[in-house]
Structures are given as C-alpha cells and as structure tokens.
A and B are shown apart, each in its own frame.
Chain A
Amino acid sequence: MTFAEKILSVKSGVDRVQAGEIVEVEPDFIMSHDNTASIIKTFEEIGVKEVFNRDRVTVFLDHCVPAANEEHAKNHDDIRKFVREQKIENFFDISYGVCHQVFCEMGFAKPGELILGADSHTTTYGAFGCFSAGIGRSELAVILASGKMWLKVPSSVKIIVEGSFQKGVSAKDLILRIIGDIGSDGALYKSVEIHGDGLQNISMESRMVLTNMSAEAGAKNAYIPPDKTAVDWLVTKGVKDFNPIYPDDDAEYEKVLKYNLNKLVPLVACPDSVDNVKEVSEVEGTKIDQIVIGTCTNGRLEDLETAADILKDKKTAKDVRLLIFPASKEVYLESLKKGIIEILAEAGGIIMNPGCGPCLGAHQGILADGEVCLSTSNRNFKGRMGGSKSKIFLSSPAIAAASALTGKINYFL
C-alpha cells in the first residue's frame, strides 16, 4: 500500500483500502484560522452544543492580523468568544504567526497523524509524515459537530530526489520545477510522496516548502517519510510519542518522477499561474515595485537568514518596497537574536508582524493596478494581492533579496 492507502486504512478501521474508495475518518487534529468566524455560524446551524473533542481542535488568527478593519475585528472577537465558551486551549491569537508554521512549532504535526484543515496549504504538515489535507469551511463545522469526515483515498505520485542543491538554489526552486513540469493540475486529487537520498540534504524548513506548495499542483496531501532530520526537529519541540507510517516497498504509484538537485537552477513563477515557470535569466531585469519575503511558504529562519546574507551592508533600491514577514513569533525572536532583523532593517526592509501579510490580498501591502510584486509566497493568480491589473512573480528568498538591491528581477552574486 502507498502511504495514503496505509494511513487511511488505519484511520478508517478498514483492513485494506485502495485508491478511489471513499472512507470515513476521525481526524487527530483539525485546524482553522480567521475563517473560524464563518465556521462557528455553520456549527451553530447544525445545532450541536459542544465541539466533539476540544483537545483536537486548533484555532489560529493569522490571515488578517492585527484586524485591518471593523469587519475583521468582529470576526476575531467572535472567534475569541467561541474558544472561551468551548474551552478550546489550542487557540493561538494574533501574536503567534502563520497557522501552518505555528501548528508545526507547537508539535501538532506528528508522524502518522491525520490532520484536516480549512486551508488549502494544510498539506504542509506532510513534511513530518502526517496525512494532512485541506477541506472546506462547512466540512470543518461538520467535524466540530461530529468528529468525522469523508475522504476519497487518493492515488499516489512518487517523486525521488537525489544530490544536493547548488549555491543559490533551494527547495523553492525544486518545487517550482516540479509544478512547472507537471502543471497546476499535475497532482490533482493525488497524494504526493517525496523520497530519495537527496532528502538528507534538505532541512525540515525546506521540506515544509515542498509539502506546502504541492497544493499548487492540485495535491490532496504531500508526504515525506520521517527520518532522523524529522525526529531531531520534533525532539527539539518536545514531541516524543508518535507512530510513523511508511509506504510498503511494493506500493503502486501512478507515476514516478526523478529530480537531481545538482542540476536545478533558480526559477520564478511568472504571472498569473504557478506553473508558468521560467529560469531567472529569462525574466532578468523585470522592474519590481514591491518584494514580499515571508508567508507559510518562505518566512522561516533559514529564509530570513538567506535574505540577510545577501543584504548585509547593502541598501535596497530606492524605488522598491521590501516587506519582511517572519512566519511566526518564534522565527521573529530567533532572527532578532541572530541579528538578522537588524541587517534586513538596515538594508531598507520593513519588518512586519508575523502573519499572512498581503499574500491573500487582505491588507499590509496591497498592490495598485499596474504594479509588480516579487513574492516568496505560493500563489500568483490574477489580482490576488490587490488590483486586477497588478502582477505577481514567485521566487525563492535568495532571488527576492537579490532583486531588492536593484529593484529588478536578478540573480545574486
């Protein structure tokens, strides 16, 4: 059995399930964020008084924090009242950071767990060997009421990585290469398993980039088999008891793809689709108005460290705005201690509070029509960050930082 078949058979209590079957599961954890406000209304509509199991419910405020206007403030207020009434302890108010990052930092993403979240990038937790998938708001409300949800067992794609990244190339370039190759529907409904010797050269933070952005190829979930790197990371978060699940050697995959990390070059996803992937050289010199370094894709310590290495003792171009969003309070504090924040601010970066920032177009750096943004986030759809005539390019933190120096897309070095 593949990882997906194996874990869904365990979690549904069925001996052996196959791709295509519909099973009912009881998730180990559920996750929702600012959208909890609307989920609460649906939960109340169902008519159940108490949530199925308050210890399995996690709620984060991150999508529009601090509240940008009265409407968002009302949402946050409703959520705070709900978690108080329901005695939900796993509530992370606006100071903590982006849900996917904080979820992992808090040790909820344990190997062998099944997690459903009302967010498409719930796939992130697969970096720790979880089965984690995004669902809709009503579905989250249904789980709050009943503890159960239906899932279709996905077929699986295996990606094997070998070698190690060249200088200036990172996990972002690998996932952009994969999405560029298979297309934004290349893994539609599928479970993406990432294997291979190359994994030993990829940090946990970088693995989270891969599982996070698998959603951009349509994946239901992404999975990286937990190894020593994962276990070491979990131990630092105080996570001890877990039961990893690994696919069988004779598991059947719909396709198998191989990538040699040594051969990868820096890439960008061009407007208005994540699979519109080009080499940096093809778009070098494109004028940029705003640069965003952060989000659940690339706002982690190693990302800010990479940016700081490039921007140290230098200044950003006068006509470009560089916005930095540490993915979490933990990342923020670590960056402060390491002097990274100071370097970035000295260089001209604007240090914002941990959160989703302008990624989904709610606040903190909305684009005017005609403006161009280079972002380390995961989506560049038309109008996502503001005006419907604005444009978004996606890249690694290294390319974003290098481009901040000239105000144009370029390589560093």
Chain B
Amino acid sequence: MIIKGKVWKYGDNVNTDVIYPGKYTYIRCSPEEMAGHALEVIDPDFSGSVAEGDVIAAGKNFGCGSSREQAAQCLKYAGISAVIGKSFARIFFRNAINNGLLVIESEEASENLSTGDEISIDTEEGTIKSGKMVFNFAPLPDFFSEIIECGGIIPYTRKRLKVNGI
C-alpha cells in the first residue's frame, strides 16, 4: 500500500479528550459529524483543512486516556490515512488497527517531519519519504496487517466466523 498526503504535526501525549471530546462520546454522530470534531480542542482548523490521505506525525503516547474508539474513527473519517508516532497508548493502538487506521512507530520520522510536509509511505517497503528524507519502520506483524487488509476487526470477524462455520 502506498499512502500520499501532507503532514499534520502534534506533540507528546495527545489524549483522547482533545482528539474527540467526552461530551460527544455518548451521542450518535455521523462519520461526517465525527470528522468535524476531530482534534477540535487543540487545533480548531484541522477538520476544515485536512485532506484525504493526510498523515498525523505525533510525539510519544499518542491517544492516551479514555478507551473511546471514536478517537481513532474520527481521524479516519476526517481523511487521515496513517498516524506516525514515537509511541501509542495501547487502547488507541488497538482501536486504530481494529478500525483499519494505519499506525506507525518511528521516532526519527516523528522528530523530523513538520506540518505541511508532503510525504509518501510505502507499507510493504516500510519506508516514509519526504523530500530528501527517508525513514524506515518495521512493518506490522502479519496478524495486524490481516485485520487492516480486511478493513478492520468487524469484517475480519465476519470472515472468520463464517470460516469456522458459526
């Protein structure tokens, strides 16, 4: 898979309350509405300007806090194709994989990328390229890639339950 887009840069410990505020978590929102709330607490311009395919480059512990799955979903619905970070909070990491949102751990890329940089990511090669910069990352384990390729854990489970004859 090749991903192309521009970078949105954020810092360390971007938590789920600023990605998708608690006041919306128990309200049914359409994907468009969810996309509209993405990151509104720390970056009110994000949802209006983000384009399909764009990538977030964050610091450490991205997605810490609540288990709310909308934090991963709203970014996906906003058009974000991948999140690059030094590290990810574990439930966010699970939610991202389970919703087919690519998460890449790369300390180097996270440090060197800036907002507005044009980048391309090759998931098979395990490379992130931007101008003259090239960063390598370890590809996801097969098990995770399988879930992402199915489009998330729900289609993956449907496929699997049928296979098992349940």
Contacts and interface: CB of A to CB of B under 8 A. Distances in A.
Given A138-B98, A379-B17, A381-B15, A185 B22 contact: no
Contacts of A34: 26
A362 B166 contact: no
Most buried by A among B26, B64, B72, B161: B26
B19 to A, nearest CB: 10
A115 to B, nearest CB: 14
Interface string B12-51: 0101011001110111100000000000011000000000
Interface string A235-267: 000000000000000000000000000000000
Residue from B72, B87, B157, B166 with most neighbouring chain A CB atoms (10 Å): B157
A357 interface: no
B157 A360 contact: no
B152 A188 contact: no
Given A34-B26, A185-B13, A141 B154 contact: yes
A135 B161 contact: no
A136 B95 CA distance: 6
A118 B70 CA distance: 13
B151 to A, nearest CB: 12
A46 B150 CA distance: 13
Given A64-B26, A381-B15, A138 B154 contact: yes
Given A120-B67, A185-B13, A75 B166 contact: no
Interface stretch (A91-99, A283-291, A382-390, A403-411): A382-390
A47 B154 CA distance: 10
A268 B135 CA distance: 40
A87 B126 CA distance: 48
Contacts of A35: 25-26, 68
A18 interface: no
A360 B154 contact: no
A226 B13 CA distance: 33
Contacts of B23: 361-362
A369 to B, nearest CB: 12
Given A22-B141, A273-B13, A362-B22, A137 B154 contact: no
5 closest A-B pairs by beta carbon, nearest first, are A185-B61, A381-B17, A360-B22, A361-B22, A136-B95
A136 B94 contact: yes
B66 A382 contact: no
Interface string B140-160: 010100000000111001101
Contacts of B119: none
Contacts of A134: 67, 91
B94 A48 contact: no
A218 interface: yes
A195 B89 CA distance: 25
B143 A22 contact: yes
Contacts of B67: 118-120, 134-137
A220 interface: yes
A383 B26 contact: no
A381 B63 CA distance: 12
Interface residues of A, number: 45
A118 B26 CA distance: 13
B158 to A, nearest CB: 6
Contacts, number: 117
Nearest to A75: B26
A56 interface: no
B79 interface: no
B64 A139 contact: no
Contact of B25 (A145, A188, A360): A360
A12 to B, nearest CB: 14
28 contacts: A35-B25, A47-B158, A71-B27, A75-B26, A118-B67, A135-B94, A137-B67, A137-B68, A138-B95, A138-B98, A138-B99, A138-B154, A145-B157, A146-B160, A185-B89, A218-B61, A218-B64, A273-B13, A360-B25, A361-B23, A362-B22, A379-B65, A379-B66, A381-B65, A382-B41, A382-B42, A383-B17, A384-B17
A188 B161 contact: no
A138 B18 contact: no
Contacts of A218: 61, 64, 89-90
Given A46-B161, A218-B61, A142 B154 contact: yes
Given A136-B91, A138-B95, A46 B61 contact: no
A376 interface: no
Contacts of B68: 35, 137
Contacts of A189: 90
Contacts of A118: 67
A150 interface: yes
Given A46-B158, A362-B22, A136 B98 contact: yes
Contact of A361 (B21, B87, B99, B158): B21
Interface string A194-237: 00000000000000000000000010100000000000000000
B60 interface: yes
A72 interface: yes
B107 interface: no
B69 interface: yes
A164 interface: no
A40 to B, nearest CB: 12
B85 to A, nearest CB: 11
